[in-house]
Amino acid sequence: MKIKLNVIVLTILLFAGNSFGQDSLSHQTVFPKGISVDYGLGKYSVRDKYISQNKYTGPISSLNVTWSNFNNNRGVRLKFDYRSGSEIKNFNLSADIKEFSFTGTYTYSIGTFNLFSKKVYTYLGPSWGFYLYSRNQYMASHMMATTLSYAALISLGLNSEFICPIKPKLQAEGSLGLNLLSLGGRLPDLEIEEAEMIKLLPFYSATKGYFHFVLCYRFIRQVSIGIGYQFRLIWFKSSKEWESEDGWYGLLVANDNLLFRLTWNIGGTE
């Protein structure tokens, strides 16, 4: 996407510029503190084998609200996320997709390193989250019948963050996260006697990972705006490539978004 390339090029150019007032910064002062609202637009791809072996793609929008704070070398974030797309298609078949998630992360300052002569502040810590996937599949029939599919995860994982002040009012923020252990829920094939709706799943059987990068500019003391990119991956492994011995069918979701952010800051750098 041309817009994503422009964001990356702009970031490299900004990293190469001079910075001022960086010596007074610390892990606590650069960490965002306040309430952020992100609106995202992007492409959504899903292969839900409970419905079909085929991949469905289409546009999706997202809205998330995040509260964050930092005290005594520890950062805390609580995030609510909602995604919706009604034109997820495979040829003339379409599906209505809705996703909801609520996550919390605890990040601890673990050091710094230099990148293009800029100091990058790093954080690492545990995370927890709840994720719900809902699909309403419209079938090609004279009655326009629908088929439903659901999946859910309650997860414990690991989260890392990177923050790089570029100018006094401009900084780059990125994060990377992955679940390690999850309690998974899936609408199974109820015709199979051994079918289970809930399982304890390691990360190689149910994966929820994400990456995001945002450039944030504080144009007044308490308000920041930002633009960035986010990628997410959700994967439920099936017992076989297509058939299912235990009633569980595979699910693979990939979603990348262009993000627009508005933040009400509480404290931090000016």
- Cα–Cα distance between 149 and 168 in angstroms, integer? 48
Greater model confidence, 204 or 141: 204
Q: How many CB atoms lie within 10 A of CB 255?
A: 22
- Provide CB contacts within 8 A for 264, sequence distance 6+: 34, 35, 36, 222, 223
pLDDT (tens digit per residue) in 24-47: 678 788 888 999 999 999 999 999
- Which of 259, 165, 170 minimizes the C-alpha distance to 211? 259
pLDDT (tens digit per residue) in 235-249: 987 655 445 556 678
Domain residue limits, the chain: 2-218+227-265
Sequence length of the chain is 270
Instruction: Give the pLDDT score at 22.
Output: 45
In this prediction, what percent of the chain has a pLDDT beyond 90? 52
Is domain 2-218+227-265 classified as CATH 2.40.128.100? Answer: yes
pLDDT (tens digit per residue) in 42-61: 999 999 988 888 899 999 99
Q: How many CB atoms lie within 10 A of CB 53?
A: 11
